[in-house]
Amino acid sequence: MGKCTVGGQAVIEGVLMKNGNKIAIAIRKPNKQITVKRQRIRSLAKKFKLLGLPFVRGPVNLIEMLFLGIKALNYSANESMDEDESKISKSEFAITTIIAIAVAIGIFIILPLYLTKITGAKGVMFNIIDGLIRVCVFLIYITAISFMSDVRRLFEYHGAEHKTVNCYEAGKPLNPANVKKFSTIHRRCGTTFILIVLTISIIVFSLIVTDSFLVKMGSRILLLPVIAGISYELLKLGSKYPKNIILNALITPGLLLQKITTREPDKKQIEVAISAFKAVVKI
């Protein structure tokens, strides 16, 4: 039997792992015990074959993982609290999520557009400068939040997730000692995906030449599924062909950025990641 393709993400005091239609969330509770939640999901791509086609599956997978990730964060936030602390309600988390999305649009779409407008650039040059500013804003944002203690801990769990997957893919037994030896960097990471999206967006948006600020802003939102579809396929190809020079040139910046978005985890964090992994993969 061949190896499974397992992916995941860090959550608050834990790790989510996904293997096909199975997910598992492992959380280190305040009492130091690890709790694991297992769940089966059904992707829209499985339900509707059209949504599983290349360039279509990317945005579908992105949206599904976004909703899955938000729910997992909500669950982990409550599970990681002490019993005497007030739990976060679904409505409170929904409001927080909406605000976060609005802020993200403001920071990563509207702000770069406004700063580019100030430069007086026109035509294709406007779109290139806008794209470069967007990349810079993203890098500054990631670097800034990495100094926050809560985010740093989240990045440590991110590192534990990657180390565990790398250990499994190398065919080594999953235990803290083995997992510890592996890298926190992985080619299929969402960090790499985001940088590919930012790169491809510069190319795609450069084709839209207009003086209308609203059209520029609208196109950057409406074309996100197209850019996500292209980026997803490139990420998969980059993982499948690790020696391809062109694909490596596209993926390497994302691998370098993972040195910020992942941190070296401790043994207890690795134990959580292993628990999540074993819950979705029979070993």
12-23: pLDDT as tens digits: 999 999 998 899
And the tokens for 68? 């899955």
Q: Which has the closest alpha carbon to 168: 26, 8, 58, 54? A: 8
Spatial contact of 35 and 27, defined as CB atoms under 8 Å apart: yes
Give the count of domains, the chain. Answer: 1
- For the chain, the C-alpha Rg in angstroms (whole number) is 20
Contact 61, 236 (CB under 8 A): no
Distance CA 23, CA 17 (A): 6
- What is the rounded average pLDDT of the residues 63-78? 88
Q: Does the pLDDT of residue 283 top 70, yes or no? A: no
Q: Over the chain, what is the mean pLDDT?
A: 91
Quick one: CA dihedral 51, 52, 57, 61, positive or negative?
A: positive
For the CA atoms of 55, 60, 65, 70, what is the dihedral angle to 10 degrees?
140
Measuring CA to CA, how many Å separate 139 from each of 29, 90, 108, 144, 204?
Answer: 32, 31, 11, 8, 21
Tens of pLDDT, residues 131-182: 999 999 999 999 999 999 999 999 999 999 999 999 999 999 999 999 999 9
pLDDT tens, 200-221?
A: 999 999 888 888 888 998 999 8
Residue 240 lies in a domain: yes
Rounded to a whole number, what is the distance in angstroms from the first to the last CA of the chain? 11
Burial of 21-34, coded b for 16+ CB within 10 Å and e otherwise, reads ebbbbbbbeeeeeb
What is the tens place of the pLDDT at every residue in 261-271?
A: 999 999 999 99
**Model confidence over 98-115: pLDDT tens digits?**
898 899 999 999 999 999
In a domain, 90, yes or no: yes
pLDDT at 276 over 60: yes
pTM for the whole thing?
0.91
Q: What gap in Å lies between CA 177 and CA 55, rounded to an integer?
A: 39
228 pLDDT band, cuts 50/70/90, is very high
List phi, psi (to 5°) of 64: -65, -45
- Segments forming the whole domain that contains residue 145: 7-280
3-state SS of 103-167 is: HHHHHHHHHHHHHHHHHCCCHHHHHHHHHHHHHHHHHHHHHHHCCCHHHHHHHHHHHHHHHHHHH
pLDDT value of residue 193: 93
In a domain, 2, yes or no: no
pLDDT of residue 1: 45
pLDDT digits (tens, 9 = 90+) for 111-134: 999 999 999 998 889 999 999 999
